[in-house]
Chains A and B, each alone.
Chain A
Amino acid sequence: MARKLKLRIWRGDADNGGLQDVVVDANEGEVVLDVIHRVQATQMGDLAVRWNCKAGKCGSCSMEINGKPRLACMTQVAAYGDDETITVTPLRAFPVIKDLVTDVSFNYKKAMEIPAYEHPAELKPGEARMAQIDVERSQEFRKCIECFLCQDTCHVIRDHEENKKSFAGPRFFIRIAELDMHPLDQLRNRKRTAQEEHGLGMCNITKCCTEVCPEHIRITDNAIIPMKERVVDNKYDPIRWLGSKIGKREGME
């Protein structure tokens, strides 16, 4: 059964913009992206919105719905009350391009700063073997769909533009963790660079990244905190330092 849905959509660009009210039909079972498309088709033909799969797997339709970073394609209209106005804005951590579309290139630049997996030189293609329990650990991180909701909600860059140059953000901390936990990766300085180059120490583990992750990756518990502990191993643990000197522990980075 269709209902009249009250929407407030942010429209504008980097120079100016604001919230515009609109009333649109919403059918049972529809998600916010559906009604945004209906607005686009019937009332605002030039409304800019980024989307692709409509299945929560491409990470394109990230936006903020009633102030919360969410995927529009995975947000049921029915979750909101009949009298409630749903406010839809672009991601507030990134520069806006137009309407609901933001410039997320910051994330791609950060991705390029992280060295790729380094394969053991002695293993030829096809010779590498990993046990399933070693694969499972990093497989959780491979579920990331790069929607950048975690980056958007992270207050380190959301509330402090100046931190963007020195902080990679939660999405890339799971990438670093994945590689540092990889049994075959040969690059041994990931703990040091996580702290010194990618700003791991700036994270104060308030877990917002975990709260908004649509793939339910336990970003803080399984990636960021383990990486912080590894940094402590490497940098702030005199017993491990001593162990590395007498050959009982893996060398410090």
Chain B
Amino acid sequence: MDTGVFSQSRAAIKERTLRTDRWWLQPAITFGVLFSFVIYATFRAFENKYYFVEPLISPFYSPCLSNSCIEGTSLLGQPFNNKYFGIGISPSLFILIFPLGFRMTCYYYRKSYYRAFWMSPPACAVAEPHSKYTGETRAPLILQNGHRWFFYAGLVFNVLLTYDAFLAFKNVEGEWGHMSVGTLVLLNNAILLWLYSLSCHTCRHTLGGRLRHFSKHPVRYKLWSWVSVLNHKHPTFAWISLFGVAFADIYIRAVASGAWTNFYFF
């Protein structure tokens, strides 16, 4: 039986949409960019090399928690083995679930990939191809409600990656007071990640959004107001921080593999 816009009671129009603009362009670009990132991130997560060159560590491998990690990369120790059940595991796989989970459950990315990958809907007022829809009411999508836990984990990662950027003010001999292109790359990555996290809807809610009385909590109201300003730009921060992470990894991989030289300003 026809449903949705093709239901018996609705205006009889055979087209899925009568939109004349290029409504497909945005989901197509989103699909292309996110798919490319997933392919690259998967490749890098399994590659297990070229992730560290003194003093730079790739955000895909920080903190490095496995006993196969290169010396100097294990900020939080090495609680994991490099093999389980005879299968070698890249150290990246122990940590990627956290930043990945944060982005996967992010309200903005949800909008993007529901449109681009699941076509639910592909664009506004364009009929989706699915015959049934239950939204985020049952497994696995009900797990999207865990966004705040990934947000908290993401904050821990932000602290660690900021520390990595701080360490990048060393030179290859480990002496402080130097700065290279790699320092700027990691600093840029850390700043973008903080902007992405602090502009997050969960952050906005946690700081003040959950209140019923703003007037009784002036400090939290002020924090909520500031985060609300950032929140307007959350989609922008979501994209540029994604590019920032990818670029930081590409840069460090290129330096670590010898393809590029990390230029020192001083």
Q: Which residues of A contact B (CB under 8 A)?
A: 10, 12, 14, 16-19, 64, 66-69, 84, 87, 89-90, 92-96, 102, 130-131, 133-134, 137, 152-153, 155-156, 158-163, 180-183, 199, 201-208, 211-212, 220-221, 225-226, 228-233, 235-237
Contact with A along B93-135 (1 / 0, CB 8 A): 0000000000000010011001100001100111110101111
With A12-B12, A206-B114 as given contacts, are A66 and B212 in contact (CB-CB < 8 Å)?
A: no
Q: Report whether B120 and A160 are in contact in the complex, using a CB–CB cutoff of 8 Å.
A: no
Q: Report whether A67 and B114 are in contact in the complex, using a CB–CB cutoff of 8 Å.
A: no
In the assembled complex, the CB of A68 is this many whole angstroms from the nearest CB of chain B, namely: 6
Do most interface residues of chain A lie in helix, strand or loop, or is the interface mixed? mixed
Give the residue among B7, B125, B145, B221 with the most A Cβ atoms within 10 A.
Answer: B125
C-alpha gap A160/B128 in the complex (Å): 9
The 29 listed contacts between A and B (C-beta, < 8 Å) are: A17-B11, A17-B12, A64-B18, A66-B18, A67-B20, A90-B11, A96-B10, A130-B215, A153-B124, A155-B133, A158-B127, A159-B121, A160-B3, A163-B133, A183-B212, A199-B135, A201-B142, A204-B111, A206-B121, A208-B125, A211-B124, A221-B201, A225-B107, A225-B205, A226-B205, A229-B201, A229-B205, A230-B210, A232-B147
Q: Report whether B9 and A159 are in contact in the complex, using a CB–CB cutoff of 8 Å.
A: no
Q: Of all chain A residues, which has the CB nearest B232?
A: A221
Residues on B with C-beta less than 8 A from A225 are 107, 201, 205
Contacts beyond the supplied A96-B10, A130-B215, A226-B201: 19 A-B pairs with Cβ under 8 Å: A17-B12, A66-B18, A66-B19, A68-B19, A90-B11, A92-B10, A133-B221, A134-B215, A152-B125, A155-B128, A161-B4, A161-B7, A205-B114, A221-B201, A225-B205, A229-B148, A230-B205, A232-B148, A235-B145
Q: Report whether B145 and A159 are in contact in the complex, using a CB–CB cutoff of 8 Å.
A: no
Q: Report whether B18 and A89 are in contact in the complex, using a CB–CB cutoff of 8 Å.
A: yes
Residues on A with C-beta less than 8 A from B115 are 206
Ordered nearest first, which 3 A-B pairs have the shortest CB separation?
A131-B215, A67-B18, A67-B19
B164-223 CB contacts (< 8 Å) to partner A: 201-202, 205, 209-210, 212-215, 221
Q: Report whether B120 and A64 are in contact in the complex, using a CB–CB cutoff of 8 Å.
A: no
Q: Report whether B20 and A202 are in contact in the complex, using a CB–CB cutoff of 8 Å.
A: no
In the assembled complex, the CB of A174 is this many whole angstroms from the nearest CB of chain B, namely: 15
Residues on A with C-beta less than 8 A from B135 are 156, 199, 201-204
Q: Which residues of B contact A (CB under 8 A)?
A: 3-5, 7-13, 17-21, 107, 110-111, 114-115, 120-121, 124-128, 130, 132-137, 141-142, 145-148, 201-202, 205, 209-210, 212-215, 221, 231
In the assembled complex, the CB of A243 is this many whole angstroms from the nearest CB of chain B, namely: 12
Give the residue among B124, B141, B231 with the most A Cβ atoms within 10 A.
Answer: B124
Residues on B with C-beta less than 8 A from A130 are 215
Q: Of all chain B residues, which has the CB nearest A86?
A: B20
In the assembled complex, the CB of B40 is this many whole angstroms from the nearest CB of chain A, namely: 26
Q: Of all chain A residues, which has the CB nearest B143?
A: A236
Q: Report whether B5 and A159 are in contact in the complex, using a CB–CB cutoff of 8 Å.
A: yes
With A131-B215, A182-B212, A229-B209 as given contacts, are A68 and B231 in contact (CB-CB < 8 Å)?
A: no
In the assembled complex, the CB of B207 is this many whole angstroms from the nearest CB of chain A, namely: 11
Residues on A with C-beta less than 8 A from B111 are 204-207
C-alpha gap A221/B209 in the complex (Å): 11
